[in-house]
A and B are shown apart, each in its own frame.
Chain A
Amino acid sequence: MIDVNEALRYLGASGADEELRQRMQTIAREAGQSFAPRYTYRVSVVEHRAEGQWLGDVQLLLPGNSARKMLAECHHAAILVCTLGLTFEQHMRSMQARDMAQAVLLDACGSALVEAGCDAAEKEIAARFPDAYLTDRFSPGYGDLPLDLQPAICRATDSQRRLGVYVTDSCLMNPQKSVTAIIGLADQPQRARIRGCAYCAMKDTCLLRKGGHSCED
């Protein structure tokens, strides 16, 4: 199901009037019936090396401080690819030829839907590892995690064969409504560094928060 408020937010139209909201609702309903996000993931042991976080089972190195910080307490990590697929892409193209105004609404619904797919994948991973605590999802482009990891993540998840997700020479994913993400698995509760303090397991006891700061400051 597509969250209409979320879709309006992606469109930059949170202040939409009732008419626009209704239009978004209609498109969201249709899109939710016609398209479903699909995902695939792999889980690997994390080895904290000097040059970065090494995910040996999928032979992937995550360099930089952001990954180091996110995965500092993690023994495993999942790499995830989620997509609305090529049929959504085709539908977007045909909608753009037909009606650009509807197309931008559909585009925003697509963004909301692919995020909902990531949420579902995250839930599934959490269920497979009931004793683990999950970090926030983070993606190439977050902090200093380079975008050019995209091809390696897609290769490690075999995303072209499994989902029809391609990476171009300039590291863009096609279909465009595709997301790659990394989720760390740890033995202790993880801070909500990206989603914010409201989601954090430590929000009631956090010293940083009491001092008026957050762990991302």
Chain B
Amino acid sequence: MKIDRRKLIFLDGAMGTMLQAKGMQAGENPELLNLTRPEWIRDIHAAYVDAGSQVVYANTFGANRRKLQNTGHTVAEVVSAAVRNAKAAVGDRALVAVDMGPLGELLEPMGTLTFEDAYDLFAEVARAGAEAGADLAVIETMTDLYETKAALLAVKEQTSLPAFVTMTFDENGRTFTGCTVASMARTLEGLGADAIGLNCSLGPKQLLPILKELCSQTRLPVIAKPNAGLPDPVDGHYDLTPAEFAQAMKDAVAAGVSVIGGCCGTNPAYIRALYDAVKDMQPGERSYEEKSFVCTPTNALFLDGLNVIGERINPTGKKRFQQALKENDLDYIVDVAIQQVDAGAAILDVNVGYPGVDEVAMLPRVVKKLQAAIDLPLQLDSTNPAALEAGLRVYNGKAAVNSVNGEEKSMAAILPIVKKYGACVVGLTLDENGLPKTAEERIAIAERILDRAESMGIPRQDVWIDCLTLTVSAQQDQAAETLKAVQHVTDVMGLKTVLGVSNISFGLPNRLLMTQTFLIQAIQCGLSLPIVNPNQKEIMDAIAACRVLSRQDGECRAYVDRFAGEVAAKPVAAASSLTLGEAIVRGLRSDAARLAREALQTESELQLVEGHLIPALDKVGADYETGKAFLPQLLGAAQAAQSVFEVIKASLAEKGGDTVKKHRVAIATVQGDIHDIGKNIVKTVMENYGYEMIDLGRDVAPETIVKAVVEEDIRLVGLSALMTTTLPAMEETVRQLKALENPPCIMVGGAVVTEEYAQRMGADAYARDARAAVEIARRLLGGN
């Protein structure tokens, strides 16, 4: 549906406020009133239409399966009654929207509701709304972009209804989850929303600056449905009169807002005042800047100037990475990501394609894991369209896709996915004729990709072109062709360019120099998105210098910060007397790794573990027990030990040998419990005593734990519970585990667990803290 944003559309006001006025009790389910008090609902809708509303929201805000459980009513029943009530009240005087609010439970990673389950819950409501004859779908009061995406996808995929989407923002211009206006606007527009805006949260005055920003971040009609001012906390009353509300809303309309109504605290009098005040106004002119953009909810990245794409999440040629993929060791991949974040990458390329790895399952898992830990936009890198779609689907924000090429087959497979999820896409300048030889051929392919993308409705600034770096030692003439093409795509086509730079130096000595030189030349020609290894200092040094020369680094501030410390830092490196043991005890991660690498020249991996690592950890452990060291120090030592283990793993992976043989321990926070820091502490410490920790997560059902124990043949299970309310779940888990034919040992811990409780529920041991857990594991499993 194309909505004319130069025409005003009047929405309704609050439903909840009106129901309370009719006599709804606190704690009563408002949606059930569709069935028990249809006359109330019809009265309210009719009053809004009489006041000027052209769209009314059916009373379905919380009519999802989760909130209706235990009411004895189905979603279809409640939603169809709600739409029926609305239709009966408004006839053909107004349109009826099926309304979807938040599910009332946080999605992963903050909560434990999965994206897929959230989608299912919304899909059911959207379908019921469409079947009942709703004219459009409204998604409102959202604070989490991820939940909003699930709802919007559900509407788009399950119905043909237009979708209006509004989120709630704070006066600081963010939602409660930290989502920015730009991230919200550009992600939702990319996903195909028909109008977007703000509702609830604040009054019209406070929302005005945020509405203005929103108007500049989208081409869609903008919605404003604010509260009747701010509530007095003492009694909950809102502070604006209908006239004041209407007056304040005039400014929003003047700023370009065209779809208007009210939220909490408003009633038909407010809508009437609003209607009378603005009905003859034209929404103000808006300006929108077409810009290349990718984002996470909290990191809105406008691609001005030079931005580095980190290339390290890729198994090609990396044995340790391949091993991590095979072992499902996603923590390792997160570590690789964090290093690149710290080194200055702006976007991370994510490639998990490797023989034997199911990319369609692995890519979304890695995307979820990464977005829980880091805050950089991702570029999903695969030749498998199904894997790309699976990854884009669960990505929270606006991502990029690497890549499509000029081949008909590639464009037909990749571009529809890019369009559907509103992603950016890298267009690789090759096609069925293979690698082009000249800049002109590259440009022709780039134009073909761009034309096709634009014809499908993908904005041109979302298309980035890769002019292909070829190895200069093999095809020396090609470097100049690549650069010429980069220049043309930048200057003439006006698109962003991507280059995998390091390919240039393959097979040559002093590769770094060659790569760095080519990088600088390419930047000079306009390269804006180099794909590099940001951990290579010289590469990032060159980028820092280029940023100064192109005036992106105002007053050379970042450059000075980068290098000013260097002169002073060097002499301190005289810590050569530091032993590996001391480095671990003091929690010096990089020193410990360096010393471990040195030790491996003369000692075996096993000697390293037994001779240095375990004694050092035991020393910190003893200090911890006697109150000389505290938890951060215990964990610091554990993490330094972790870096030593990384060195050992990498060494073994290079030799192609087995990993160090270790006992495996499963660990979980029990069902209903979301407080998992204690479990994570135990995991960190035990891992670094050499136990392989199978982390089952938090809020884990007893059945899931039993299944893992049986399938993985686990001999020791650690369970944690923090609250008295979740102790029964711990007891139940212990009961189920002990009922197994060959029951594992179980240790339990957590704030409310005591030795006595542990015994009573049938656990084998009570772990007071992480250090105690190690002792128990040693006692029960032996070794390590």
A binding-site residues for B, Cβ under 8 Å: 11-13, 15-16, 20, 23, 40-43, 57-60, 85-87, 89-90, 92-94, 96-105, 107, 128, 141, 147-148, 152, 155-156, 160-161, 163-164, 166, 168-172, 174-176
Contact = CB atoms under 8 A, between A and B. Distances in A.
A172 B25 contact: no
Interface string B447-486: 0000000000000000000000000000000000000000
Contacts of B638: 100-101
B105 A166 contact: yes
Interface stretch (B115-123, B712-720, B723-731): B723-731
Contacts of B351: none
A181 to B, nearest CB: 14
A148 B725 contact: yes
A12 B684 contact: no
Interface in B195-225: 200-201
B27 A161 contact: no
B332 to A, nearest CB: 11
A12 to B, nearest CB: 7
Contact of B235 (A57, A99, A105, A176): A57
Contact of A168 (B168, B236, B672, B681): B672
A34 to B, nearest CB: 11
A40 B235 CA distance: 11
Contact of B631 (A94, A104, A152): A104
Given A99-B639, A100-B684, A87 B178 contact: yes
Interface in B162-178: 168, 174-178
B632 A102 contact: yes
A57 B168 CA distance: 26
B630 interface: yes
B233 interface: yes
A57 to B, nearest CB: 7
Nearest to B699: A168
A107 B677 contact: yes
Contacts of B633: 20, 101
Contacts of A169: 672
Contacts of B631: 11-13, 101, 104
Contacts of B675: 172, 176
Given A166-B105, A166-B106, A104 B681 contact: yes
B397 to A, nearest CB: 13
A183 to B, nearest CB: 13
A101 B338 contact: no
Given A107-B677, A161-B168, A59 B26 contact: yes
B723 A90 contact: no
Contacts of B236: 42
A101 B144 CA distance: 29
Contact of A96 (B375, B587, B677): B677
Most buried by B among A59, A94, A147: A94
Contacts of B235: 42-43, 57
Interface in B150-191: 168, 174-178
Interface in B102-131: 102, 104-106, 109-111
Given A43-B234, A174-B110, 4 more contacts: A98-B373, A160-B102, A170-B725, A176-B675
A160 B338 CA distance: 32
Q: Among the interface residues B141, B635, B675, which one has the most CB atoms of the partner chain A within 10 A?
A: B635
B110 A89 contact: yes
Contacts of A105: 632
B373 A170 contact: no
Contacts of B176: 85-87, 163-164
Nearest to A83: B176
B733 interface: no
Contact of B632 (A20, A58, A160, A161): A20
A9 to B, nearest CB: 12
A97 B104 CA distance: 27
B672 A172 contact: yes
B725 A86 contact: no
Contact of A58 (B26, B106, B264): B26
A209 to B, nearest CB: 31
A104 B624 CA distance: 15
B526 interface: no
8 contacts: A12-B631, A15-B627, A60-B26, A86-B177, A93-B372, A101-B638, A104-B632, A166-B104
Going nearest first, the 10 A-B pairs with the smallest beta carbon separation are: A164-B176, A170-B672, A97-B373, A59-B26, A13-B630, A101-B635, A101-B636, A87-B178, A101-B632, A100-B684
Contacts, number: 150
A87 B296 CA distance: 13
B334 interface: yes
Interface in B216-260: 233-236
Interface in B714-755: 722-726, 729
Given A11-B631, A20-B633, A41 B233 contact: yes
A105 B677 CA distance: 12
Given A16-B630, A89-B110, A101-B587, A171 B674 contact: no
Contact of B630 (A20, A58, A98, A128): A20
Contacts of B587: 101
B372 A97 contact: yes
A189 B105 CA distance: 41
Contact of A174 (B234, B674, B680): B674
A174 B103 CA distance: 14
A40 B673 CA distance: 25
A43 B231 CA distance: 13
Interface string B360-388: 00000000000011110000000000000
B53 interface: no
B59 interface: no
A174 B673 CA distance: 11
Nearest to A76: B234
Nearest to B170: A38
A90 B723 CA distance: 21
Contact of B635 (A16, A104, A148, A156): A104
A11 B673 contact: no
Given A11-B630, A98-B338, A107-B677, A160 B104 contact: yes
A58 B26 CA distance: 8
Given A12-B630, A57-B235, A93 B373 contact: yes
Contacts of A164: 143, 175-177
B163 to A, nearest CB: 22
A77 to B, nearest CB: 12
Interface string B318-336: 0000000000000100100
Nearest to A27: B632
B265 to A, nearest CB: 11
A41 B27 CA distance: 18
B26 A97 contact: no
A89 B109 CA distance: 10
Contacts of A171: 723, 725
Contacts of A90: 109-110, 177-178, 298
A104 B680 CA distance: 10
A152 B264 CA distance: 20
Given A20-B633, A97-B334, A174 B725 contact: no
A104 B373 CA distance: 16
A11 B634 CA distance: 13
A139 to B, nearest CB: 13
Contacts of A163: 176
Contacts of B178: 86-87, 90
B677 A104 contact: yes
A99 to B, nearest CB: 7
B413 to A, nearest CB: 34
A23 to B, nearest CB: 7
Contacts of A23: 632
Contacts of A11: 630-632
Contacts of B143: 86, 164
Given A43-B235, A105-B632, A160-B104, A172 B674 contact: yes
A155 B27 CA distance: 7
Interface in B516-567: none
